[in-house]
Structure 1
């Protein structure tokens, strides 16, 4: 015998109740979020992570069972190692789209080309491929407008990410041949992602709670 008291079912139940309350507090903090770096959200996240880990350990010790949740360890995440006061920054954006309706895409490209006042070499009726249609649409509309009108023009929005990272000053035209070859994740000052995977996780959780 080790002399160490084993956890009890009552402790597991208490840990479960504490975790439920932490979920409510985390949701309330998110709903009241003040900006992307709200310390209240971070504090609620850390509390939720800690209580989830405690519940998981007790559940395993008493019932030899585990939860399906895994909380990422922030200490293992790559830290920002760039300068505190960078002389230059770059903004890197990736947005994925699924071509949902190629006919709608072609139609919008032809109309956008005709209405632009500077129709392309192909002319509206000469746009016959998805690639040509996309080239016209991205020539007429800026990327943010494409994102806003994606469904309307026949695209389905996928995952996206935006990074703001510190860089060394570059000469004009220096990096244009290979703009994404030297991205240093450890110099990222800010990043923001959207993903349908998050929406799927939320929907699954909502189904479980019903």
Structure 2
């Protein structure tokens, strides 16, 4: 902590009061929201985020303390959209994280599928999954079910959801078949992201981060 330009106690107190005011306004906006994309809620959220960040910084500078909460930013997550005005092709990038919390349930579900289709196990084994029962079970289940069905039924498979993200990117024309399969996420141009949706266990809410200008 430096003594240079150290904030005063009054400045820290004023920042704390600003957070309280922003909290009240955010709650009022949420209670009176007119729809899913109410601009008043969005504006109140951003003001609350800015007030909390300012208070956190002043608190740390003055007292070497931090707040126990963090509000994720939205405005600077993505650069302004600079893709085609009328996209003729889209790429949807999805990542979902899971924890294997009930391995026996996972194995039982895979065995149930294997009993119905013995070829599924053979395919998973030939792909290199036979070295461990859990990897083979995952190969069986993800080979049998669509990712969206796994997501909706994750508890049945002994899985626990972690963070997830979905990015929609725009392009002028579809990619050549097979050209990106070896590294599907390496060629993402942030300026072509039309919209992004994050779900985080940390914040326990869905975050909509749009890359389009309004």
Counterpart of 2:194 in structure 1 is 189
The question of whether the paired residues in 2 share the 8 Å contact of 1:22 and 1:48 is answered with: yes
Gapped regions of structure 2 (runs ≥ 5): 1-6, 206-214
CA distance in 1, matches of 2:13, 2:189: 45
Counterpart of 1:207 in structure 2 is none
Counterpart of 2:87 in structure 1 is 86
The question of whether the paired residues in 2 share the 8 Å contact of 1:113 and 1:140 is answered with: no
Counterpart of 2:212 in structure 1 is none
Q: Deviations over 1:44-97 (max 9, x none)?
A: 123324544666688799xx4475367648358522221222111110000111
Report deviation, 1:33. Answer: 7.0
Q: Classify 1:33/1:23 alpha carbon distance in 2 versus 1 (closer, same or farther; 3 Å).
A: farther
CA distance in 2, matches of 1:101, 1:20: 42
Instruction: Say whether 1:146 aligns with 2:145.
Output: no
CA distance in 2, matches of 1:112, 1:57: 54
Instruction: Say whether 1:109 aligns with 2:83.
Output: no
CA distance in 1, matches of 2:101, 2:87: 41
Determine which structure has more spread, i.e. the larger CA radius of gyration: 1
Instruction: Say whether 1:166 aligns with 2:170.
Output: yes
Q: Classify 1:91/1:38 alpha carbon distance in 2 versus 1 (closer, same or farther; 3 Å).
A: farther
The question of whether the paired residues in 1 share the 8 Å contact of 2:78 and 2:190 is answered with: no
Gapped regions of structure 1 (runs ≥ 5): 1-5, 201-210
Counterpart of 1:3 in structure 2 is none
The question of whether the paired residues in 1 share the 8 Å contact of 2:120 and 2:140 is answered with: no
Secondary structure of 1:137's aligned partner: helix
TM-score, normalised with respect to structure 1: 0.70
The question of whether the paired residues in 1 share the 8 Å contact of 2:170 and 2:194 is answered with: yes
Report deviation, 1:142. Answer: 1.0
Q: Classify 1:176/1:14 alpha carbon distance in 2 versus 1 (closer, same or farther; 3 Å).
A: closer
* Corresponding residue pairs, total: 187
CA distance in 2, matches of 1:81, 1:101: 45
C-alpha RMSD of matched pairs (Å) = 3.6
Counterpart of 1:122 in structure 2 is 121
Secondary structure of 2:178's aligned partner: coil
TM-score, normalised with respect to structure 2: 0.68
Instruction: Say whether 1:20 aligns with 2:24.
Output: no
CA distance in 2, matches of 1:130, 1:142: 19
